[in-house]
Amino acid sequence: MVKSVDEYLILLRKELAGSDAAVIQDALADAEEYLRTALAQAINGRPDISEAEAIPPIIEKYGSPQEIAAAYRQMEARLPASLGRSAYKGQRSIFYRFFGVFADPRAWGAMLYLFLSLAIGIAYFTWAVVGISLSLGLLVLIIGLPLAVLFLLSIRGIAFIEGRLVEALLGVRMPRRRMFSDDRTGFWKRIKNLFTQRITWTALAYCILMLGLGIAYFTVFVVLIGLAVYLIAMPITVGILDMPAYIILGDTEYLATTWSIPFFFVLGVLLLPATMHLAKLVGRGHGAFAKFMLVSKKD
């Protein structure tokens, strides 16, 4: 028989072993909030009742770890992450799979995220650097510790917001609710948890790394899309508008000729969907990176 909330959470984590890390975090947060709130109400004003005596009826009403784990697995099967399914799954035509990427919302979501990543990276990096500088610079003063705590709390908030953005645009399952924080936990213990939990520091590292990633993502995909559009528009710019078109290879500049324009047009037509496929691939990789950095493991 379970005799404490902590024991229940350990059993629930074991039952959810093998599930998505974000699902485990959400399930543990939901269970801890419900159980601790119900436990506080059950023993409020009744010092004669211990946690071991009060917790069994609460668990009976909420559900056993096995029941809750099964419920979360069923819920995840019915409600996948946003953009989590392919728009053309099951199609076997290579032609359709290649050019059908334009009908895949995952590709557009990934492309939008990669374009936004530069602005996001600048914002995260600026906040992280300013926060670290102020916190360390004022640590010798009495205001230093409270400022550091507020800064780290803001990083945890950024991690949650970024997770929702990643799930919405990249289709990677991320936590859908904040980690539970018990108000009855001692002040210094809560401060200690903030400084010792892995997710605090991995989220801070994520904010710093996003600047470099954002610059790389934005630059590569702006260049690829710009090049594809330039090649596709070449018949119009040269044949109709009578404008010269140049192709630069290394240090050499070539003037596109009449016979080469169809070749470059076809190349542009192929490059554009290839760029969309690359965006999906990069988005999937970044989603995995974000999950590793922004999802709690065994804090």
Here the tokens at position 289 are: 């990176």
pLDDT of the residue at 258: 63
Here the tokens at position 31 are: 């269970």
CA-based torsion, 139, 142, 146, 147: positive or negative:
negative
Angle CA(72)–CA(73)–CA(76) in degrees, nearest 5?
A: 85
More reliable by pLDDT, 260 or 223: 223
Rg of the chain over all Cα atoms, to the nearest angstrom: 26
Share of the chain above pLDDT 90, in %: 48
Q: What's the pLDDT tens digit per position in 110-122?
A: 999 999 999 999 9
More reliable by pLDDT, 163 or 256: 163
Q: Is the pLDDT of residue 87 over 90?
A: no
Q: What's the pLDDT tens digit per position in 4-34?
A: 888 999 999 999 988 888 999 999 999 988 8
Burial state string for 19-50 with b = 16 or more CB within 10 A and e = fewer than 16: bbbbbbbbbbbbbbbbbbebbeeebeeeeeee
What pTM does this model have? 0.82
| C-alpha to C-alpha distances, 286 to 77, 128, 182, nearest whole angstrom | 23, 20, 32
What does the DSSP assignment read for 38-68? HHHHHHTT-TT--HHHHHHHHHHHH--HHHH
Bridge partners of residue 252, in order along the sequence: 249
Q: How would residue 235 be classed by pLDDT, with cut points 50, 70 and 90?
A: confident
Mean pLDDT, rounded, for 228-234: 87
* Residue at token pair 């892995």: 198
Report the C-alpha gap between 223 and 89 in whole angstroms: 29
Q: Which residues are within 8 A (CB) of 5 and not within 5 positions of it... i.e. 6 or more apart?
A: 32, 35, 36, 39, 51, 55
Q: Tell me, what amino acid is at 260?
A: S
pLDDT of the residue at 298: 62
